Amino acid sequence: MAQVITDEKMVDEVLERGVEQIFPDKKTLKEKMMSGERIRLYCGYDPTAPSLHIGNAVTINKLSQFQKLGHEVIFLIGDFTCMIGDPTDKLATRKKMTREEILENAKGYQKQAEGYLKFDGENPAQIMYNSEWNDKLTFKELIELSSNFTVGQMIQRDMFQKRMAEEKPIYLHEFLYPLTQGYDSVAMNVDLEIGGNDQMFNMLAGRTLQKNINNKEKFVLTLKLLADETGKKMGKSEGNAVFLDQTPQDMYGAVMSWTDGTIAVGFEMATNISMKEVKEIEEALKDEKNNPRDLKMKLAYEMVKINYGEEAANLAQDNFIRTVQKKEVPDEVASIEASIETSIVELMMKEGLAGSNSEAKRKIEQGGVSLNGEIIKDIQTKISKEMNGKILKVGKREFRKIVVE
RNA sequence: GGGUCGGUGGCAGAGUGGUCAAAUGCAUCAGACUGUAAAUCUGACGCCGCAAGGCUUCGGGGGUUCGACUCCCUCCCGGCCCA
């Protein structure tokens, strides 16, 4: 059994760093943690996509901080809730997923989370699947669960309000999402749930149920969303998403495409460098003399280091400097075989460098395709003997070494 | 059950008989620039084709018409109001 650390400074940092709100309040949770009691906490992840993203990483990072203090961490995979689809942030009902798709997506989650959270050694995090108990719920039990909430409470929810205002449909089963997520708290009998601030409603439903059913106080800790001062979020729709299964190079590059305003908060939420350093970075960012790019490079480096280790971080950084800043060819370029007389367009298609012939042609016409630095202008260009060993570049970051057969 | 409005490209959302492969915004891609793969600017953005042009697409099916995203019939789905 792991020893629970009750160092006040450390407890404070865990309860403050990146934290938006704590329910019912920070003081009570702190007292509980300072008492030396080992608390049981979790955060849930719905496997709607094959990869976790940076937003998930922030909560996983928070879980790991509790883990380091010796608390019991559960990494919950929402294979059941996922079938309903969380209405949070969704203007439209999510399409239903099959169990197969869901489990396929969930496969990589542990590996992707490992950069932050330990699943072995002392005090390992446990992985649970919420289908384990939700599958077994009977209709009768579901009715009993539902009776803990009123329709009024459900439709209060901002997202539902918005949908009603826009005359968009709300399906009955969407009301069950907070219910089932809430029931997770009861089934696992946890003391604390953490999640992004947008998950507050769902997490509080669990607080209500845990109180009503197990007569236990469940704490809820919400984290700030990773966003810049204008509220611009990181995410897919913003085009700057970072996924945990990206290659080190791509991850590094994706971080580099964040807006400058996200640098400090990125360090605070997604890395584990000390808060002292985070403050120093904040100060440095205010100084005109410093180039924010350099601090962002440090952030990108840290992110890759956490997920892939120091060596990969160095390589990713070198790669970025080389290909993006100096516009040179990277150290390692994948070779591709090409037979004489096949067209460049055909080759690009075969290599997945273009989604269609039209796209390949467009890229050539727009000057995005080059061979050893020489822009290919003619879409009719065919592979010739002289091209052997030359580097084909498509767009900013795709490099292939041609091996003529 | 009745009334009424609606279902358009990855998303949001215009378009009401030819000028529509379908405005605009977001996302995406390419280029320029830069302090970065940021911001900004320029261009592209269904598929095939060097091109001319062709093919497929506006909930499904059928019809009217020289011609339909646009009109008619029918079916499916949704919002709102009434019951």
Interface predicted TM-score (ipTM) of this complex, two decimals: 0.84
Residue A41: what pLDDT? 97
In this structure, the strands spanning A40-45 and A19-23 are unpaired
Does residue A124 form part of some domain? yes
Distance A358 CA to B49 C1' (A): 9
Structure-block tokens of residue A254? 């994706």
| Final residue before a domain boundary, out of A297, A325, A353 | A325
CA distance A165 to A162: 5
**Which residues from the 260-279 window of protein chain A have CB within 7 angstroms of nucleic acid chain B?**
260
Same domain, A251 and A173: no
Residue A1: pLDDT band by 50, 70, 90 thresholds? Answer: low
Question: What percentage of residues in chain A have a pLDDT greater than 90?
Answer: 52
Q: Smallest CA–C1' separation from A261: which nucleotide?
A: B38
Does residue A228 form part of some domain? no
Average pLDDT over residues A221-249: 72
- Find residue A375's DSSP bridge partners: A370
| Final residue before a domain boundary, out of A325, A348, A367 | A325
Q: Is there contact between A254 and strand B, defined as CB under 7 Å from any strand atom?
A: yes
Same domain, A93 and A172: yes
DSSP state of A323: I
Indicate which CATH number applies to the domain containing A373: 3.10.290.10
- Find residue A129's DSSP bridge partners: A77
Same domain, A240 and A163: no
CA distance A405 to A383: 10
Distance A169 CA to B1 C1' (A): 21
Same domain, A21 and A163: yes
pLDDT tens for each residue of A328-343: 888 778 899 888 888 9
| CA neighbours closer than 13 Å in the CB half-sphere of residue A328 | 9
A348 by DSSP, 3-state: which?
helix
Residue A309: what pLDDT? 93
Same domain, A194 and A112: yes
CA distance A331 to A403: 17
| Final residue before a domain boundary, out of A223, A248, A279 | A223
Does residue A81 form part of some domain? yes
Same domain, A12 and A119: yes
CA distance A243 to A116: 14
Q: Smallest CA–C1' separation from A397: which nucleotide?
A: B37
Average pLDDT over residues A31-45: 95
Residue A199: what pLDDT? 87
Could you give the angle at the alpha carbon of A45 between the alpha carbons of A251 and A139, nearest 5°?
160
Same domain, A251 and A354: no
Q: Smallest CA–C1' separation from A365: which nucleotide?
A: B30
User: Are the C-beta atoms of A29 and A62 separated by less than 8 Å?
Assistant: no
Same domain, A257 and A216: no
Distance A60 CA to B54 C1' (A): 54
- A345 φ, ψ to 5°? -55, -45
Same domain, A135 and A79: yes
Q: A87 preceded by cis ω (within 30°)? A: no
Indicate which CATH number applies to the domain containing A19: 3.40.50.620
Does residue A343 form part of some domain? yes
The 10 Å Cβ neighbour count of residue A276 is: 8
Does residue A1 form part of some domain? no
- 0.90 cut: is pTM over it? no
CA distance A350 to A338: 10
Does residue A229 form part of some domain? no
Could you give the angle at the alpha carbon of A379 between the alpha carbons of A375 and A383, nearest 5°?
80
DSSP assignment string, A244-273:
TTS-HHHHHHHHHTS-GGGHHHHHHHH--S
Average pLDDT over residues A93-118: 79
In this structure, the strands spanning A72-77 and A40-45 are parallel
Q: Smallest CA–C1' separation from A380: which nucleotide?
A: B50
Structure-block tokens of residue A243? 């996924």
Print the domain residue range for A293: 236-325
Same domain, A53 and A158: yes
Distance (Å) of CA A198 to CA A8, A86, A87: 28, 11, 11
A230: pLDDT strictly greater than 70: no
Instruction: Report how many domains make up chain A.
Output: 3
Average pLDDT over residues A121-149: 93
**Which residues from the 214-253 window of protein chain A have CB within 7 angstroms of nucleic acid chain B?**
237-240, 249-250, 252-253
Does residue A218 form part of some domain? yes
Q: Is there contact between A212 and strand B, defined as CB under 7 Å from any strand atom?
A: no
Bases in strand B with any atom closer than 7 Å to a protein CB: 11-13, 26-32, 35-39, 43-50, 78-80
Residue whose C-alpha is closest to residue A364's, from A378, A352, A351, A353? A378
Distance A94 CA to B74 C1' (A): 30
Among A105-119, A165-179, A251-265, the least confident range: A165-179
